[in-house]
Amino acid sequence: IMNNKQINSMVDEIIDLMQDKKVKDIVVLDVKKLTSLTDYFILCTSESTPQTKAVMDHIYKNMREQGYRPNNLEDTKSLEWVAMDYFNIVIHIFNEDTRNYYQFERLWGDAKIRKIDE
């Protein structure tokens, strides 16, 4: 079980790792009060399949080095949408069309939303 400080530092680290790979539109949704599934969703948009694979591998490798393994890793065959579940934090890497289609922020409209500047 992680404390808030650890969770917050993991959120910051994941944002940094995403930025390393130049993804767009990073958003953190605080859903602690809305669901027991997780505390945060971190979303980003990837501009290509290779970029999606690169950011996914980069996060996975760096988290594993710190002893964090995803509880679940789900991806669509074409990597249109990848979900990496780290218990307190669930990462969603979308391509542009999929992100626009699912409107994740609207789905979780009551969440506290933090947009990360590029």
pLDDT at 2: 86
pLDDT at 58: 98
- The stretch 2-29 carries a mean pLDDT of 97
The yes-or-no verdict on residue 118 having pLDDT over 80 is: no
Per residue in 52-105, pLDDT (tens digit) is 999 999 999 999 999 999 998 888 888 999 999 999 999 999 999 999 999 999
Give me the residue label for tokens 């990496």: 84
Per residue in 3-14, pLDDT (tens digit) is 999 999 999 999
> What is the distance, to the nearest Å, from the Cα of residue 86 to the centroid of all Cα atoms in its chain?
9
Reading the block at residue 36, the tokens are: 């027991």
Q: How far apart are CA 5 and CA 45, in angstroms?
A: 26
The DSSP letter of residue 99 is H
Q: Tell me the helices (H) and strands (E) count for the chain, helix number first.
A: 4, 6
